[in-house]
Amino acid sequence: MSTRALRYSKAGIIVAACFLLFTLPPAALAQSEKTANPVAQFSGIDKITGKIIKFDVYIDETVQFGALQITPRVCYSRADNAAPGSNTFVEVEEITLDRKIRRIFTGWMFADSPGLNAVEHPVYDVWLASCKASSDVPAPES
């Protein structure tokens, strides 16, 4: 791509961004308050069986899915009309065949973009489905 074409390409992106910025209503630009939730709901797939399940995990509790241990540390959501949606900070560890625990993921997962930071393991994939205020699963004892 020539320098001139690149310059026009960047200019087009800037013009489009300014157009969106000035045509959106002010309410859409305002940051909505995030809500901390006590439960993170994950989806997981076992690639061997092809089975997909949803499971709830309370914050700071560890749940085992196959050879993976999932521990959400926070789970935030925003109002339905605000972007972005639910996100969680999670730690995922793998139990290896020689019974050692190895951290394979630490970071943020986003329900609106499950492919962005999903855990992709040779046998299991895990991603955030949503953050919830309650669960049918009994809360762990303190």
Instruction: State the pLDDT at residue 34.
Output: 86
The pTM of this model reads 0.72
Instruction: State the pLDDT at residue 114.
Output: 74
Q: Please list, residue by residue across 1-11, b when 16 or more beta carbons sit within 10 angstroms of its beta carbon and e when fewer do.
A: eeeeeeeeeee
pLDDT along the chain (142 residues), means of 10: 46 44 44 85 95 97 96 89 78 95 94 82 93 91 73
Contact predicate 37/132, CB 8 Å: yes
Phi, psi of 62 (to 5 degrees): -110, 130
Instruction: State the pLDDT at residue 141.
Output: 80
Residue 57 burial (CB count, 10 A): 22
Name the residue with tokens 């625990």.
101
Instruction: State the pLDDT at residue 63.
Output: 97
Instruction: State the pLDDT at residue 48.
Output: 95
